[in-house]
Amino acid sequence: MIESEQDARAGSQRFVLKPNASLNSRQALFLMLGIALVMAVIAGGFASMGAWLVLPFSGAEWVLLAYCFKLGLRSCRVREVITITDTSVLLERDYGTPEQNYRFQRAWVVLDWAKAPIKGHPSRLSFRSHGKEVEIGRFLVESERVALAGELRKILFDSK
């Protein structure tokens, strides 16, 4: 998902990139509780027939599934903010709190958009300057990445 805003006073353009999250943390909690209930009923049925060893394996499977859900929800919290001013391009990447900041001089930045060598794989969009390269919008779908590349190219290079 791409949100764009322009600050006329500061003379800057800002893009906020977020993945399309189809499941929030509350929905994931209810889903995990439902799965736990179904797994407990099935494991309890096998345990009542004498296959009690199913219980710890069922519990371990649920813990592993909960861990995978946690990783998936964390990857949906990633956010990239691209701020373009007259002199610089700032990329901030965070998972709730700012974790990585990259600053490029606008005059030297190169927007590199490379199509994938294998059909069906995503393209790669990145900023390059002075030997440093940072990929942006890795989590975007292809149509959003193409639209972002067009907008960035228009702002960075056509307005000079």
Give the tens place of pLDDT for each residue, 51-98: 999 999 999 999 999 999 998 888 888 889 999 988 899 999 887 666
Contact 109, 129 (CB under 8 A): yes
pTM of the model: 0.73
SS3 percent helix, strand, coil of the chain, rounded to 5, is: 40, 30, 30
Q: What is the DSSP string of 67-100?
A: HHHHHHHHHTT-EEEEEE-SSEEEEEEESSSEEE
Domain boundaries, the chain: 2-21+76-158, 25-75
Report the sign of the C-alpha dihedral through residues 155, 108, 131, 91, in that order.
negative
The CA distance from 124 to 103, in Å, is 19
Could you tell me the two tokens for 80?
């990239």
The CA distance from 56 to 36, in Å, is 13
The CATH number of the structural domain formed by 2-21+76-158 is 2.30.29
102: three-class secondary structure by DSSP: strand
**Distinct helix (H) and strand (E) counts, the chain:** 3, 8
How confident is the model at residue 30, as a pLDDT?
Answer: 95
Q: What is the pLDDT of residues 11-37, one digit of tens each?
A: 788 899 998 888 888 999 999 999 999
CB burial string 126-147: b at 16+ within 10 A, e below: bbebeeeeeebbebbeeebbee
